[in-house]
Structure 1
Amino acid sequence: MTDIALSPSAAQRVASIAAKQNRPAILRLSVDGGGCSGFQYKFGFADEPLSDDAIAETDGVQLVVDSVSLDLVRGCMVDYVESLGGAAFRVENPNAASGCGCGTSFAI
């Protein structure tokens, strides 16, 4: 079992954004303290994985998570969802005991 996963729709979106910005198709997920539920997800692009990163690859696109954040998101799936409310990367985190309405923060 892998520690983290990237859905095909998220991989496609990362590849599209990375191509437009002429960057490697590497999405970094990290967790910061804060948000309305205690922790919040933070997304950004990375130029390369770091030595302590967990790496998941889908369709040539990498999702990387640092070792500290990994403890909070182990087993998660990052998806890309388009809805009437907008489009966003969404983290399906089995470790989260609760989340907020906006879906960007969680509690353990």
Structure 2
Amino acid sequence: MASVTLSPSAAARVAAIAAKQNVAPILRLSVEGGGCAGFQYKFGLADAADADDIVAETDGVTLVVDPVSMDLVGGSQVDFVSNLGGASFQVSNPHAASGCGCGTSFSV
């Protein structure tokens, strides 16, 4: 099964957010229907991994993805990018046939 990875910059950002909120540094990535391209990425802090989650760790930060979402994001990397347009988590997804201009939704 393909995995998903968390870049060092994304791990650092998750660690900073989790420390500020005094919670564990666990980022959940899921995929939902919707967005302007058909599917959209959803990010949130998690209390713990679920039993069937796929788990990846980078620099002490855990990334968890449910099996259904993993079918759509396997082989991807989650990065945190800061530029003139703002700062955001972005997914480099090899399964995405197209995406929207904002980078938060995609189609397969």
Name the TM-score, length of structure 1 as normaliser.
Answer: 0.98
Q: Hey, what's the Cα distance between the residues in 1 that align with 2:19 and 2:66?
A: 24
SS at match of 1:51: coil
Q: Hey, what's the Cα distance between the residues in 2 that align with 1:72 and 1:56?
A: 16
Q: Hey, what's the Cα distance between the residues in 1 that align with 2:74 and 2:16?
A: 26
- Amino acid in the other structure paired with 1:65: V
SS at match of 1:68: helix
- How far did 1:2 drift? 5.5
Displaced runs of 4 or more, over 3 A = none
**Pair 1:101-2:96 in alignment:** no
Matches within 5 A, 1:1-108: 3-108=3-108
Name the TM-score, length of structure 2 as normaliser.
Answer: 0.98
SS at match of 2:19: helix
Q: Which ranges in structure 1 are unaligned for 5 or more consecutive residues?
A: none
- How far did 1:29 drift? 0.3
Percent identity reads: 69
Contact 1:2 1:56 in 2 (8 A): no
Q: Which ranges in structure 2 are unaligned for 5 or more consecutive residues?
A: none
Q: Hey, what's the Cα distance between the residues in 2 that align with 1:6 and 1:89?
A: 10
Cα shift readout 1:3-42 (whole Å, capped 9, x = no counterpart): 1000000000000000000010000000000000000000
